[in-house]
Structure 1
Amino acid sequence: MTFFRTSILFLAFLTFACTTNHEKYTFEYAEPEDHGFSQSGLDSLSAFLEEKGSSSMILMVDEKIIFEWGNTEQVHTIHSIRKSMLNSIFGIAVHDGLIDTNATISELGIDDIHGLTDGEKSARVADLLKSRSGVYHSAAAVSEGMLRGKPERNSKEPGSHYYYNNWDFNVLGYILEEKTGESIFELYNEQIAKPLGMHHFDGRYESFDADTIQNESDFELPLTSGFYQYERSKSKYPAYHFRMSAKDMALYGQLYLNKGKWNGSQIISKSWIEESTKPHSIYNERFGLAYGMLWSVLAPTENRSGGSFYHTGTGVHMLGVYPSSNMVLVHRVDTEKEYTFTGNDLLTMIDLVFEAKL
């Protein structure tokens, strides 16, 4: 019996070690001036971040950190940037032939608690990726701002109209898990976090149903790398939330700046990244703001050539990829606590970054 129990414990330890241990990426640092940035300009940025209540920020240029502020190893929720995290593992599944982006949600057996019409069920996976499904069913983790712009059910044909739609994003997560047989967080850990050498993401996750929370002030978010947020009175499909550090997010941005290649291996297909970061839906022509596939995109304007892409979270977090500057930008705010940083502050932060360029 003692030998049997010892063997079981050894196997459990071996399994834990194999799933959690991997070589962590070694970040390189460089002087800002050597990569086209003014130290005095970055000092102004530091003062602004301190004043406004950021938690951390990283600028990586030419694969080296030229600016690091705050606790870049602190792990907290990334909010809507979760969609860009899904992009990679979804793209891998498409490349592997597990998902057909031309398949309709009817063909995939997708329905929801309030029922979908035949017209809604004609939406393709490609429409969901572009947030153009035309399905305006209630969904988990929808903000008041999203509700204000939400069209009426069956008012738009699938593929015809862009609306930033959490129903689309949540269902994409479900489709991925159904086709792969694994959780989003386990897939991300194996296919992205480990190959990149992420420092803090380990694939562990929990779940909760927001409908059962009696007192929000007493509720504590799970402290795992991921968690599912159900709201079963609204939809059967949960939101999948990521909790990450600024350093791990910077590595992810660098993977996309590298067109999906890492240490000589093509982790994500180059064509998938290029298609994902095209401006499929321009929603602000004046400023060239657009949505691609699970990424926001800066479309070409009179003043810029385009090519940059990003995603924000609750208006204050940001992961930005700027190919023309060979730069990755990560900005974080500890939104798991009370915070004062605003959406306007985020815009000012971006201005300060580019004003610091020599």
Structure 2
Amino acid sequence: MTFFRTSILFFALLILACTTNHEKYTFEYAEPEDHGFSQSGLDSLSAFLEEKGSSSMILMVDEKIIFEWGNTEQVHTIHSIRKSMLNSIFGIAVHDGLIDTNATLSELGIDDIHGLTDGEKSARVADLLKSRSGVYHSAAAVSEGMLRGKPERNSKEPGSHYYYNNWDFNVLGHILEEKTGESIFELYNEQIAKPLGMHHFDVRYETFDADTIQNESDFELPLTNGFYQYERSKSKYPAYHFRMSAKDMALYGQLYLNKGKWNGSQIISKSWIEESTKPHSIYNERFGLAYGMLWSVLAPTENRSGGSFYHTGTGVHMLGVYPSSNMVLVHRVDTEKEYTFTGNDLLTMINLVFEAKL
């Protein structure tokens, strides 16, 4: 009996080890000058990050780290960059035939607490991916800035108008989980984090309801790498939040720079990435700012060929992919406490990066 129990314990621990451990990616480092960057220019960038209160930053060029600043292993909430994290696992489900992007909300049985009209239910999954659903129902994790630009309910036809809409993004997460039978964080861990050899992401996640928080100053975010934020007075569908390190985000950016290929395996369809990073909605023609599918895109302008894509989080976090420079950029701020870094500082940071190019 003792041997039997010991055997069960051994195999249980073995299974646990297999589900939690994986080979971690080994980062390579290189001198900036060998990859087209000035050390003095990057020194100016370092001084700026220190002055403005960044948490960490990485520049990977030609798959090598040429610039690393701060604690790149510390995990923080990534805020809206969660949408780009969803892009990969959603694309895998589409490629596997689990999700039809032409399916309508009506066909998928999607409704919400305030009820959707027949017109709203005619929105397709593809419309939600492009943030063009025309469904302006209340949603979880919506900022004041989002509310200022929010159209009236039923004022736009599905697919006709771009509005950065957390309802769309949250419902996409629900659709993915319904069609796969797994949580977003389980899917991400198995399909992305483990194959890439991420250092700090694991499958643990929690749930909280923001409606039940009495005093925001006393509330602490879950310390897990994933958490669902419900606001059940507004919507049935939670926001799904990620906490990640700069290093793990850099690996994710490199996967997209590789057009979805990793160690010889096509993890994400190349065509999915190309469709996701096309400018489906140009919302600022002067600067060529556009939205693709769960990624922001730099559209071609008179002074720029286009092709780069990125996502920001609360205006200060950034994951940028620059194919013409073969570069991945990650910038982090510890927004889980008081911080001083601003959106204007982010623009200055980007300028300093490109000023450092030889």
1:11, distance to aligned residue in structure 2 (A): 3.5
Residue 234 of structure 1: aligned partner: 234
Match of 1:107, SS state, is helix
1:19, distance to aligned residue in structure 2 (A): 1.1
- Structure 1 distance, partners of 2:70, 2:122, is 47
1:113, distance to aligned residue in structure 2 (A): 0.3
- Structure 1 distance, partners of 2:131, 2:221, is 27
- Structure 2 distance, partners of 1:103, 1:33, is 50
* Structure 1 range deviating more: 198-207 or 317-326: 198-207
Residue 347 of structure 1: aligned partner: 347
Q: Spell out, residue by residue over 1:65-97, the C-alpha distance to the aligned partner (whole angstroms, 9 max, x if none).
A: 000000000001000000000000000000000
1:342, distance to aligned residue in structure 2 (A): 0.2
- Structure 2 distance, partners of 1:111, 1:3, is 54
C-alpha spacing 1:30/1:218, structure 2 compared with 1 (3 Å)? same
1:3, distance to aligned residue in structure 2 (A): 4.6
Q: Spell out, residue by residue over 1:294-334, the C-alpha distance to the aligned partner (whole angstroms, 9 max, x if none).
A: 00000000000000000000000000000000000000000
Q: Spell out, residue by residue over 1:190-234, the C-alpha distance to the aligned partner (whole angstroms, 9 max, x if none).
A: 000000000000111111000011111111111111000000000
* Structure 1 range deviating more: 266-275 or 216-225: 216-225
- Structure 2 distance, partners of 1:43, 1:245, is 22
* Structure 1 range deviating more: 13-22 or 117-126: 13-22
TM-score under structure 2 normalisation? 0.99
Q: Spell out, residue by residue over 1:153-210, the C-alpha distance to the aligned partner (whole angstroms, 9 max, x if none).
A: 0000000000000000000000000000000000000000000000000111111000
- Structure 2 distance, partners of 1:80, 1:5, is 47
1:8, distance to aligned residue in structure 2 (A): 4.1
1:4, distance to aligned residue in structure 2 (A): 5.2
Q: Spell out, residue by residue over 1:229-282, the C-alpha distance to the aligned partner (whole angstroms, 9 max, x if none).
A: 000000000000000000000000000000000000000000000000000000
1:2, distance to aligned residue in structure 2 (A): 4.3
- Structure 1 distance, partners of 2:84, 2:210, is 23
Q: Spell out, residue by residue over 1:113-151, the C-alpha distance to the aligned partner (whole angstroms, 9 max, x if none).
A: 000000000000000000000000000000000000000
Match of 1:57, SS state, is strand
Residue 45 of structure 1: aligned partner: 45
Q: Spell out, residue by residue over 1:27-57, the C-alpha distance to the aligned partner (whole angstroms, 9 max, x if none).
A: 0000000000000000000000000000000
Match of 1:110, SS state, is coil
1:260 matches 2:260 = yes
- Structure 1 distance, partners of 2:110, 2:164, is 19
1:12, distance to aligned residue in structure 2 (A): 3.1
Q: Spell out, residue by residue over 1:11-30, the C-alpha distance to the aligned partner (whole angstroms, 9 max, x if none).
A: 33222211111000000000
1:84 matches 2:90 = no
- Structure 2 distance, partners of 1:121, 1:345, is 40
Q: Structure 2: state its 5+ residue gaps.
A: none
1:9, distance to aligned residue in structure 2 (A): 3.0
1:6, distance to aligned residue in structure 2 (A): 3.3
Residue 217 of structure 2: aligned partner: 217
Aligned length: 358
Match of 2:133, SS state, is coil
- Structure 1 distance, partners of 2:250, 2:333, is 15
- Structure 1 distance, partners of 2:20, 2:61, is 29
Residue 60 of structure 1: aligned partner: 60
C-alpha spacing 1:213/1:5, structure 2 compared with 1 (3 Å)? farther
Q: Structure 1: state its 5+ residue gaps.
A: none
1:10, distance to aligned residue in structure 2 (A): 2.6
CA RMSD in angstroms comes to: 0.8
- Structure 2 distance, partners of 1:290, 1:98, is 28
TM-score under structure 1 normalisation? 0.99
- Structure 2 distance, partners of 1:315, 1:2, is 58
